[in-house]
Amino acid sequence: MSAKAAGDLRVLYIGGWGRSGSTLLDRMVGQVPGFFSLGEVREIWQSGLTENRPCGCGAPFRDCVFWTAVGQEAFGGWDRVDLDDVLKMWRRFDRPWALPRVLRRRPHPERSPGLTRYLGILERLYRSLANVSGATVLVDSSKLPTHALLVRLLPGADLRLIHLVRDSRGVAFSWEKLVRDRVTQPEAVYMETYGPVGASARWLLYNEATGLTRRIGVPYTLLRYEDLVARPREELTRVLAQTGWPVDPSALSFVTDTEVFLTPNHTVDGNPIRFSEGGMRIRRDDEWRRKMSPSDRRWVTAITFPRLVGYGYPVVVRGGGSR
């Protein structure tokens, strides 16, 4: 690994669990001059290189000009990457059970040769992302805390994390719904679903683990999805100031209190919203308040109760779409 000056690889990481608005936040932050929206970088090996899913620009991943340039600079082309080998390392070091291994400081090369090798690959990838994008700050909404901690271990990495949370009942309701994926493809392919208990358990696990990053010293800011969509401009200003990379108000001209203007992007994986361009109205998705079954709502509230209250959500919520 090359010895770069500490802190020159700036990564703004969006952590938490799925269906919490992370793709929307990624794209919003990515509109700030100097910031570059990447989507879920940890999905590059599977969704990008293996499945060749469309990039945010609409092109299949392997045809996208941006990602082709990144692969060329990092590895001399994606075909030079031993994908089976990388996928094995990815499954080993970038899943929730790997958390204890990546919580510590940089691994000893002789004691952890596999992890050292995977970090070497990630270092080439992120250095290339910074060079090809020309960005000052890379925005990575990979969500999983293990990936955040891997990025933190890269030489010269300056990782700052926004922990995006959403009411567990809204998240669980969203995971039950069928959401069509791969909008650029003719056949109907749907995103993964979970029942209320499975979704609640995962909501707890991923949010607890994301909170751990704060305890080991990662600069950390909590953001609630509901606050982001209610006051997008104000909340973006606040979280960027809290991450330590404040922006001038003029840099936020793309967002008002009701609308955001989105430009073309090169995001890997994420919610289908990544294909949206132009002016988009921001409104809170609170369909769950009207449509979630009372029994599902009770289960999710009971399982996630202490954390839900910890994030400042009310335990009893009336339906009808009002607060």
Residues that bind Zn ion (CB under 5 A): 55, 57, 64, 66, 266
CA atoms within 13 A on the CB side of 80: 12
Structure tokens at 194: 């979970």
Compare residues 61 and 194 and give the one whose CB is closer to Zn ion: 61
Beta bridge partners of 165: 224
Compare residues 146 and 267 and give the one whose CB is closer to Zn ion: 267
Beta strands of the chain (E only): which ranges? 9-16, 35-37, 137-143, 157-165, 180-181, 189-190, 220-224, 259-262, 278-281
Beta bridge partners of 223: 164
Q: In whole angstroms, how close is the CB of 144 to Zn ion at the nearest point?
A: 22
Q: In whole angstroms, how close is the CB of 264 to Zn ion at the nearest point?
A: 8
Q: Give the whole-angstrom CA distance, residue 239 versus residue 304.
A: 25
Contacts of the segment 105-109: beta carbons below 8 A, 24+ positions apart? 105/153, 106/153, 107/153
Q: In whole angstroms, how close is the CB of 209 to Zn ion at the nearest point?
A: 30
Compare residues 12 and 64 and give the one whose CB is closer to Zn ion: 64
Compare residues 64 and 218 and give the one whose CB is closer to Zn ion: 64
Q: Give the whole-angstrom CA distance, residue 272 versus residue 51.
A: 16
Compare residues 152 and 266 and give the one whose CB is closer to Zn ion: 266
